[in-house]
Amino acid sequence: MTQDQLKQAVAQAAVDHILPKLDSKSIVGVGTGSTANFFIDALARHKTEFDGVVASSEATATRLKQHGIPVYDLNSTSELEFYVDGADEADHHLHLIKGGGAALTREKIVAAVARTFVCIADASKRVPVLGAFPLPVEVIPMARSHVARQLVKLGGDPVYRDGVTTDNGNIILDVYSLSITDPVKLEADINAIVGVVTNGLFAARPADLLLLGTENGVETLTRS
C-alpha cells in the first residue's frame, strides 16, 4: 500500500469510529494536513449526520467549506466530543510531535477543548522516542532571536522555517537535535520561553486514541 492509501484507511477508520457517536447537534474538531484532508473528504460523505465542525487552520476551513460543511468559530461552541488530526510523530504514550503544517497552535487549542482526541497517522509516524522530526515552535516574530538562543540552551538546533507565516501571523522555528526523554517537561520548558506562542509537543494533552495505518490494517492504540 502507498502512504496515501494508509492515510486514507485511517481517515475512514476515524469516521467509522466517531459517526455512531454523533447526532444532529454534534460539532467535530478537524485537524490540518494531508491525513486530515482524507478525513475531511470521508467525513463530507456524512455531512447531514452532524451539525458542523471547528477547523484548526484556514486551509482546513477552506476545504470543509468547499464540501458544504458548516464551519463554526470555537468561541461559539460549548462542546466538542471529538478532535481528529494527524501527527508528525507518535510514541506509545500517544505523546505527539505536530506542526509540520505550521498549524500547531490552533490544533493544540482545539485538542484542549475536545473530550476525545483521535490521532490518525500512517505507520511511519510511530517512533520509540520523539525527536527525529524537528520540533516546530511558533514564535512572535520580534522574539525570534531571543527564542532561538534559549532553544540552543535547551540543547536544540533551531532553524527558521523560511517563507512561512502561521495563521496567527507568527513564524516557525524547527528545532533539531533535541533529546526528548521527558516530553511533558520539555513542552512546558519551551512554552515558558518569552515569545513562544506554543510548541509542537502534544504531551500534556496527548491523543486519547491513535489509529495507525499499517500494511496489516488499521491498528488501534489507546493511552496507557
Residue 196 phi/psi, 5-degree rounding, is -80, 130
* CA gap 137, 191 in Å, rounded: 9
Tell how far CA 155 is from the center of its chain.
Answer: 24
State the DSSP code for 110. Answer: H
Q: Is 155 annotated as a binding residue?
A: no
Looking at 14, 61, 82, 86, which residue binds ligand 5RP (CB under 6 A)? 86
Cα–Cα separations (whole angstroms), residue 193 to 106, 134, 148: 19, 18, 10
Given the complex with ligand 5RP, which of 153 and 213 has the nearer CB atom?
213
Looking at 12, 35, 198, 199, which residue binds ligand 5RP (CB under 6 A)? 35
User: Does 31 help bind ligand 5RP (rule: CB under 6 A)?
Assistant: yes
* CA gap 54, 61 in Å, rounded: 8
20 CB-near residues (< 8 Å, 6+ apart): none
User: Does 116 help bind ligand 5RP (rule: CB under 6 A)?
Assistant: no
Looking at 63, 98, 161, 205, which residue binds ligand 5RP (CB under 6 A)? 98
Catalytic site residues? 107
Looking at 29, 100, 156, 158, which residue binds ligand 5RP (CB under 6 A)? 100
User: Does 33 help bind ligand 5RP (rule: CB under 6 A)?
Assistant: yes
CB of 97 to ligand 5RP, least distance (A): 8
Residues that bind ligand 5RP (CB under 6 A): 31-35, 85-88, 98-104, 107
